[in-house]
Structure 1
């Protein structure tokens, strides 16, 4: 009896740790050039283990609240940057703690990049890499609790 209760308590207390090993949640992205916080992005599972992410809050000093994605060339062209879906179609790689196969949009230039997301430091940070062929860059995003 006591062992069963102890097991339930252990599993319940460990559940938040399991949840942290995924990109799902709210993240603050940091500009890799200036070191300044730029935005908050919420990543969600839209079904079947597929992750999408939308820009939930803009933090840049020069961000205009009514700015739209003029540079976008797909269905996001002309849409407000606030609320814009910038991550689409990421899936967990087989046997790895890596999500890939999706795309990430840079609303500043309208380009879509191949996406790779890797939770690090127990899920406190997320390495987000956008690339075109062998060229790309990685940003480290910070989880917001």
Structure 2
């Protein structure tokens, strides 16, 4: 009888372990922004997760040349193509599908913001950008590109 009780308690727990133990690498891959104009590949460097722009809906400017990071605060980087720019930097996995401690770079404004990443139950990537505290900020929802 005790065996049946122990088994009845353990079986649901064993099925829940994969849900609770979401991998630190679950965020890896290519993600498309909510507005659909940019795709970012998230990769791992050491223990940190970073992301580079790998695709733009409009890759070229009006002159037909690749768009550059013209709003970068560093003048020396303003001529570099937007494809390849690191948009997400230095995220650390904190558990439960959350990555913190990183920054997001907005090439439209040339500004960096503190940021938190999380994967929702539906599998979408929620990017919470903020200045100071995360209560005052903005969240974008990105989808995984297959």
Q: Do both proteins adopt the same fold according to a TM-score greater than 0.5, normalized to the shorter chain?
A: yes
TM-score (norm 1): 0.72
Question: How far does residue 129 in structure 1 lie from its aligned partner after superposition?
Answer: 1.1
> Which one has a larger percent strand, Structure 1 or Structure 2?
1
Which moved further from structure 2: 107-116 or 125-134? 125-134
Spell out, residue by residue over 1:15-73, the C-alpha distance to the aligned partner (whole angstroms, 9 max, x if none): xxx56972111101113xxxxx111110001112x00100000014x853511112112
Matched, 1:138 2:101: no
Spell out, residue by residue over 1:65-100, the C-alpha distance to the aligned partner (whole angstroms, 9 max, x if none): 51111211247443211111111101112x432101
Question: Which residue does the alignment assign to 1:29?
Answer: 33
Question: Which residue does the alignment assign to 2:93?
Answer: 92
TM-score (norm 2): 0.72
Asked if 1 retains the 8 angstrom alpha-carbon contact of 2:41 and 2:52, the reply is: yes
Specify every segment of 5 or more residues in structure 1 that has no aligned partner in the other structure, as ranges: 1-13, 32-36
Question: Which residue does the alignment assign to 1:56?
Answer: 54
Q: Which has the larger radius of gyration?
A: 2
Aligned-residue Cα RMSD (Å) equals: 2.5
Question: Which residue does the alignment assign to 2:37?
Answer: 38
Specify every segment of 5 or more residues in structure 2 that has no aligned partner in the other structure, as ranges: 1-17
Asked if 1 retains the 8 angstrom alpha-carbon contact of 2:115 and 2:130, the reply is: yes
